[in-house]
Amino acid sequence: MKKIIVTGSNGQLGRAINSLLGKNTDYELVNTDFGVPQITDLDITDLDSVIELCREIKPYAIINCAAHTNVDACEVQIDAAHRINAIGPRNLAIASSETGAKLVHISTDYVFAGDGTKPYTEFDTPAPKAMYGITKLAGENFVKQFADRFFIIRTAWLYGDGKNFVGTMLRLAENHSNITVVNDQVGSPTSADELAKAIRSLISTENYGLFHGTCEGQCSWADFAKEIFRLAGKDTVVTPVTSRQYKEMNPASADRPHYSVLENYMFKLTGGYNFAPWEMAIADYFQKK
């Protein structure tokens, strides 16, 4: 049985991977996280700890779901963002090369400026603006530098079992009949279940490299909120606002990409996984709730 180390296993993607691969007799998952009870404790920012665990487990693959994903917090917790989003992947890349493991590293649409007018492909040049994107791009570069066999998958607007936009909207709807949501930020809502399926499709192959992995199609946050309420049977009204208006109401928030749609170009070029349309994926999410 092939052993797979999953970092950040208590997060949305980590849980989706466990749900999908946990009963697969081909793999044995070794779940790790930092400071989570009853899960193997691993601080990916500590190189010695990462190498020690990998030498002990001798994994077939490492799936790195760990990240500092609080975009606003990254602007002030700059050292922590660099340690988790850049040094952590570097350490995993070093350990994967030493032990011969494949490395799956999850990245983000925030590596792009977000001011384009057409979907970004893997061949477009990153130009991050927010510290979150800057540190995640650094992590990508470290993986490319130190890992022998790797899959980097950029995703966006992820939701699953855990804290996410879907849950936030439903929670707000409990006490608000009207909710303000930005309508000039466009992306692709992506199911953690769909991303886990894409990872499963890659991990047994030699199809290494950089991939974009999001559900097909695009919408604004306001449109996404409307679909969430429709599927949940809520009559909550969504009031669209611009990013500038939202910034005036929430001065501490970091700038978000206005257009960060990713095209899954490498999956398409290499005959890889076909993601579901975002509308189908969110409907499936509600059916399973």
Q: Helix or strand or coil: residue 183?
A: coil
Task: Say which DSSP state 126 is in.
Answer: P
Q: Helix or strand or coil: residue 95?
A: helix
The number of residues in the chain equals: 289
Task: Round to whole Å and give the CA distance between 81 and 136.
Answer: 9
Q: Is 132 a catalytic site residue? A: yes
Q: Tokens 């052993």, residue?
A: 3
From the candidates 132, 259, 273, 285, give the one annotated as an active-site residue: 132
Distances in Å between the alpha carbon of 121 and those of 126, 141, 223, 257, 260?
A: 10, 17, 24, 16, 10
Asked whether the CA dihedral 49, 132, 277, 237 is positive or negative, the reply is: positive
Are 232 and 173 in contact, with CB atoms under 8 Å apart?
yes
Catalytically active residues, by annotation: 132
